[in-house]
């Protein structure tokens, strides 16, 4: 049997999530069998898997020493040659500039070299992450596509994670602005209000009607400059749907350069051949918070900025865009 006193850091989460994290190598069937057999107790009382932990709770998990040894294994922390590009850090959040081509989370193609693992390694080496199976694992509170670069916010503790994930989910009290290069001459400013429907099987998003199950999606934008039949655009997400900017700009017949799923494939190939540029020209440039309350109120008014790369600056200069030098 293992006994754990719940700290403030570990409180306010479902007990099954905590047990799954502690017994990180155990099959899910084993975890939920513990609950069915009433082998998980709080303050000597059996609880269901949806119980929310409170500070000071005494958690008992009735497992053998052999099972603990088999299932409670520290997460592998790798060392990385490339350091994270740190924008800002305090006791609650860490903000980084994600390069293009790097996954935030692992997938079937890459599980080890991810931004999340690099951040975890950074904090572990600083002594801020305890790899003990109980401590909160620092994690991103929003997402970016693999081939989109820019600002990503990580939470260092559970309260911050829960608060900011809700902020990003409902898209209130946060502003997310992107810089993108689109085909053709985009209007000086505008709003794209086009509901989006995701095909989970194909991983493809399309504009559809709300009646079909699509979700409301709104993008505001302004053209910064126009040159050589390309538009440099600042876009702001009013909602945060999967592939929203990519689908919306394709919908108004100004697809983002380099977009291999929704873009102009012929134009992309010409652009790649000329500039040796293999990604979508989409960059999460600015994130700012407002009207946050409580422990994160101090973030109000802060703006976190990641500039586009030197290579992208050079490409834009060659296309005739001005005043872009870093």
Question: Which are the catalytic amino acids?
Answer: 145
Q: Locate the DSSP E strands across the chain.
A: 2-5, 40-42, 45-46, 58-61, 86-89, 93-98, 139-140, 149-155, 174-183, 189-193, 196-199, 204-207, 218-227, 230-237, 282-289, 303-305
Residue 294 gets the label, from left (phi > 0), alpha (psi -120 to 50) or beta, of left
DSSP assignment of 157-179 equals SHHHHHHHHHHHHHT-SEEEEEE
3-state secondary structure of 80: coil
37-42 own/partner pairs: CB under 8 Å, 24+ apart: 39/63, 40/15, 42/15
Dist. CA 215–CA 119, nearest whole Å: 32
Q: CB of 230 within 8 A of CB of 163?
A: no
Lookup: tokens for 305: 């900025």
Q: CB of 295 within 8 A of CB of 92?
A: yes
- Positive or negative, the CA dihedral 95, 259, 251, 243 is negative
Dist. CA 99–CA 140, nearest whole Å: 15
Residue carrying the six token digits 């995701």: 198
Lookup: tokens for 195: 């509901």
């Amino acid at each position: 049997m293992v006994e754990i006193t719940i700290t403030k850091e570990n409180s306010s989460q479902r007990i099954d999530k905590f047990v799954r994290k502690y017994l990180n190598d155990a099959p899910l069937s084993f975890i939920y069998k513990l609950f069915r057999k009433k082998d998980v107790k709080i303050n000597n009382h059996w609880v269901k898997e949806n119980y929310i932990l409170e500070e000071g709770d005494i958690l008992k998990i009735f497992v053998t020493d052999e099972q603990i040894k088999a299932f409670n294994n520290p997460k592998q922390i790798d060392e990385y040659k490339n350091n994270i590009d740190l924008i800002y850090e305090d006791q609650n959040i860490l903000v980084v500039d994600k390069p293009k081509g790097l996954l935030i989370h692992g997938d079937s193609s890459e599980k080890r070299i991810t931004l999340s693992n690099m951040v975890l390694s950074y904090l572990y080496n600083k002594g801020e992450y305890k790899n003990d199976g109980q401590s909160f694992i620092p994690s991103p509170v929003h997402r970016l596509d693999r081939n989109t670069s820019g600002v990503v916010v990580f939470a260092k503790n559970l309260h911050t994670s829960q608060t900011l994930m809700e902020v990003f989910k409902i898209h209130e009290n946060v502003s997310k602005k992107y810089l993108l290069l689109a085909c053709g001459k985009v209007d000086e400013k505008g709003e794209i209000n086009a509901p989006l429907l995701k095909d989970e099987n194909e991983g493809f998003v399309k504009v559809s009607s709300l009646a079909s199950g699509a979700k409301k999606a709104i993008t505001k934008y302004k053209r910064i400059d126009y040159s050589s039949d390309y538009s440099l655009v600042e876009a702001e997400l009013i909602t945060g749907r999967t592939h929203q900017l990519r689908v919306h700009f394709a919908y108004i017949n100004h697809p983002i350069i380099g977009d291999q799923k929704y873009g102009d494939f012929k134009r992309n190939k010409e652009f790649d051949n000329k500039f040796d540029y293999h990604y979508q020209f989409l960059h999460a440039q600015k994130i700012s918070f407002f009207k946050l309350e409580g422990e994160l109120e101090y973030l109000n008014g802060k703006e976190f900025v990641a500039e586009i790369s030197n290579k992208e600056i050079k490409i834009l200069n060659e296309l005739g865009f001005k005043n872009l030098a870093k």
